[in-house]
Amino acid sequence: MATAILLISCPDQRGLVAKICDWVFIHNGNIIHADQHVDDRAGLFLMRLEWELTDFSIPRDAIGAEFSQLAATIGLDWQLHFSDRVSRLAIFVSKQDHCLYDLILRQKAKEIVAHIPVVISNHRLLEPVAHNFDINFHYVPITPETKADREQEQLELLQKYEIDVVVLAKYMQVLSANFLQQFKEIINIHHSFLPAFPGANPYQRAHQRGVKIIGATSHYVTEDLDEGPIIEQDVIRVSHRDTIDSMVRKGRDLERVVLARAVRLHLERRVLVYGKPGELRTVVFD
C-alpha cells in the first residue's frame, strides 16, 4: 500500500497542523502518520506527514506541484517522498565485515527496504561477501596522492548505479569536502558515544580513560569530522575486566544495531535535519 510522505520545516506559526492536515483531507488522503515538533529556541516547526495514495484525488505526479502552492503561501521548506520508490544504497567498507553482513542480511529480511547494487571498498578483502549475495563490488584503493582521482571514480560509480544513499559501514577513510559537496545523503557509524572519543582509536581511549560504558553513534556525514547530526546512539556497560579486544567485540554489536536503525529511519524518511551549519541536529519521527 503506497504512501506519500512529506517532511516539512518552517518558522513556527499558528494553524500549521490544521492547514497542512486539511490539505491532505480535502484531497481525500487517509493520514496514517502525523507527527510534529516545535523547537522553541529556534522558533522552528517541523513535521512528518504520511498518507495513503489510494483514493488521493491528486495524481501522484502532480502532488509536488500542488503542494508547492500551499507551501508558498505558508513559507514551508518541504521534501516529498513515496514509500514505493525504493532507495538505492551503496555500502562503503574497508576490511571489517560485520556491518556489511548486517545490512545485507537485514535487506534480505526486508527489515531495510532498499536496493543494494554496489559495495565499494579500498581493500579487496570483502569482495567475496558482496559477490556471495550477488552485489557488485568495486575496489577503489585510496592513497593521499590519488585521493582526488579516486573519489571522482567513486562519484562516477554512484552515478552509474543511480545511488541515493551512501552508507559508510566501517569505511576507514575520511571523505573530502569536494566529495561531500557532490553527494549529500551519507550515513556513517562511529565507534564511540559521541561527542566522547571522536577521531581515531576510540576503544583504546575509552579503555585508557576507564569509562564504565561505551557506545556507538550513527550520524550524517558533514565536513566537520564526527560532528555531523546524530541519528541514533546506543551504549553498553563495560568494566575493568574488559580488555580493548572485548570492548571492540561488544562495540561491534552496538555498531551493527545503531547503524541499521539509522539507515532504516533514514530510508523511512523519519529524520529531519535542521539548525545552523556546525550545529546541525536531527528530529527523528519514530
Nearer to a copy of itself by C-beta: 92 or 197? 197
Binding flag, residue 208, a copy of itself (CB under 8 A): yes
Binding mask 84-103 for a copy of itself (x = CB under 8 A): -------------xx--x--
Cell of 136: 557488485
CA distance to 77, 170, 243, 268, per residue, from 158 (Å): 27, 18, 39, 21
Which range touches a copy of itself (CB under 8 A), out of 83-91, 104-112, 143-151, 157-165?
104-112
Q: Which parts of 25-44 interact with a copy of itself (CB under 8 A)?
A: 25-26, 28, 30-32, 34-40
Do 271 and 283 contact (CB within 8 A), yes or no? yes
- Catalytic status, residue 226: yes
Do 181 and 193 contact (CB within 8 A), yes or no? no
Which range touches a copy of itself (CB under 8 A), out of 118-126, 153-161, 182-190, 211-219?
211-219
Q: How many residues bind a copy of itself (CB under 8 A)?
A: 63
Binding flag, residue 180, a copy of itself (CB under 8 A): no
Cα dihedral 257, 268, 8, 21 in deg (nearest 10): -130
Among 55, 226, 234, 242, which one carries the catalytic annotation?
226
Cell 513515496 sits at which residue? 82
Binding flag, residue 137, a copy of itself (CB under 8 A): no
* Nearest to 69, CA basis, from 32, 35, 31, 20: 20
Taking the CB of residue 195, how many other CB atoms lie within 10 A of it? 10
> What is the rounded end-to-end Cα distance, in angstroms, of the chain?
19
Which range touches a copy of itself (CB under 8 A), out of 71-79, 157-165, 182-190, 207-215?
207-215
Which residues 6+ apart lie within 8 Å of 84 measured at CB?
A: 2
Contacts with a copy of itself by CB under 8 A lie at 14-15, 17-19, 21-22, 24-26, 28, 30-32, 34-40, 97-98, 101, 105, 109, 111, 132, 193-197, 208-213, 215, 229-230, 232-235, 237, 239-241, 243, 249, 252-253, 257, 275, 279-284, 286
- Residues with catalytic annotation? 226
